[in-house]
Amino acid sequence: MPNSINVSVIAPAAHLRDFAAQMPATVHHVAAQRVLLDPAYKEFFLEEARLGATIIVDNGVFDLGRSLSPCELVRAARAVNAEEIILPDVIHDARATMRASDIAAAQILDMSDECRLCAVVHAANDEDWRRCYDHFATCDYVGAIAFPASRGKEPSKELSKNRVVATDYLEDRGLIDPDRIYRLLGLGRIGHLELFDQRQHEWISSVDTAAPVLLGAMGVRILPDGPYEKIPTPRVETLERIEPERFSLIRDNIRAVRYAADCPIEIRVPV
């Protein structure tokens, strides 16, 4: 039976209540650096946690180019009552990711065992991808495993470059651990259309994305059944304010992504 994948929408801090609030409150990916620097951002996600959402603190590497320190990640997690921390990772580098995650996990666990730890599978080729996945799948400290989006401009059948191929590979070989949580990080070359394939895997729990907000802010509509063309978008933190006339389009885009994921979460619109 097709799975429902929970979709966490990433929005600019000024528009969290317009686009990211969830009904029911289910799961949120939260930028650790924003939690530590922005009281209003922190308060929004504390409220979502009180409403029942699982809060996942991201390590900042995608936004900053580097991961926050283990101490900063623990501080951010405690500030929003997070249930999970995404461990430091190094994009496209399996060896560096495994080392960074192992070191950070040891340091975090010395400070606290309050949060589940999520490792991210990175690699530049299939051999390294298998090595990285096998490493985390056999680590006692890993409670969740995440797969980053496929961002190459051209189609590929490599595990390290095509997330659909990677998740099919794991399913076909019986390599899924039922005691762990599996997540998707971001949307890639084919956008939300990937989720029609990924929801066939009942073990995939969630995906986070800023695409429906960023594209909508640019005036671009996401068609529920495609086609989808990946175009350059600004980083979410560079969007301070979005014109109100774009709100309806953005909410349509969010619904389109959740339709692809068969996700029942709706936007809790401010009254």
Phi, psi of 84, deg, nearest 5:
-150, 145
Token pair for 212: 């429906």
Question: Confidence class of residue 195 from pLDDT cuts 50, 70 and 90?
Answer: very high
Burial class (CB in 10 A: 0-12, 13-18, 19+), 196: middle
Boundaries of every domain in the chain: 6-267
Instruction: Give residue-wise pLDDT tens across range 150-188.
Output: 887 788 999 999 999 999 999 999 999 999 999 999 999
Rounded CA-CA distance 270/19 in Å is 10
Is the pLDDT reported for residue 271 higher than 70?
no
pLDDT for 1 equals: 52
Alpha helices in 112-246 (DSSP H): 126-137, 163-172, 194-198, 211-217
Query: Average pLDDT of the chain?
Result: 96
The angle formed by the CA atoms of residues 257, 90 and 148, to the nearest 5 degrees, is 20
User: Thinking of the domain 6-267, which architecture would CATH place it in?
Assistant: Alpha-Beta Barrel (3.20)
CA-based end-to-end distance of the chain: 37
Render the burial of 106-136: b for 16+ CB within 10 Å, e for the rest.
eebeeeeeebbbbbbbbbeebebbbebbebb
Asked if 34 and 261 touch (Cβ cutoff 8 Å), the reply is no
Whole-prediction pTM: 0.96
- Average confidence (pLDDT) over 44-66: 94
